Amino acid sequence: EKVVEELHSIFGDDKDRPETHRDLQGMKYLEAVIKETLRIYPTVPFFSRNVNEDIEYEGIILPKNATLQVFVYGLHRNPDVFPDPERFDPERFTQENQRNRHPYAYLPFSAGPRNCI
């Protein structure tokens, strides 16, 4: 319903006109809905990264050449980051609600220099 209201506020009654870049930039709630959908249903449930050098993390040694798995499905359901994680709530992705979230708490397409999976 909010998406329909947002689209109506942008396009009015002119449903046949093509969208512009400016229109797309104004679709903040639609963007939040898409992000929340990708949080709950990630395109890839996990991805791998190789360790390039020995690393100590919280007292655990991650040896060079080890392969790490990032479990995106679980990451996106961390209740410390996303309270009530099973509930669909696009408001999680408003500018205000994203402000203090760690940038790697939400990884629908991976992260880093080769970040699209």
pLDDT digits (tens, 9 = 90+) for 66-114: 999 999 999 999 999 999 999 999 999 999 999 999 989 999 988 766 6
Residue ranges of the annotated binding site are 116
> What's the Cα-to-Cα distance from 40 to each of 35, 61, 69, 112, 114, rounded to whole Å?
9, 31, 19, 21, 23
Contact 112, 104 (CB under 8 A): no
The pTM of the full predicted model, rounded to 2 decimals, is 0.84
In angstroms, rounded to a whole number, what is the distance separating the alpha carbons of residues 91 and 108?
17
Q: Write the Ramachandran bin of 110: left for phi over 0, alpha for psi from -120 to 50, otherwise beta.
A: left
Question: Annotated binding site for heme, which residues?
Answer: 116
What is the three-class DSSP state of 61?
strand
- DSSP tag of 117: -
Q: What is the mean pLDDT of residues 52-63?
A: 96
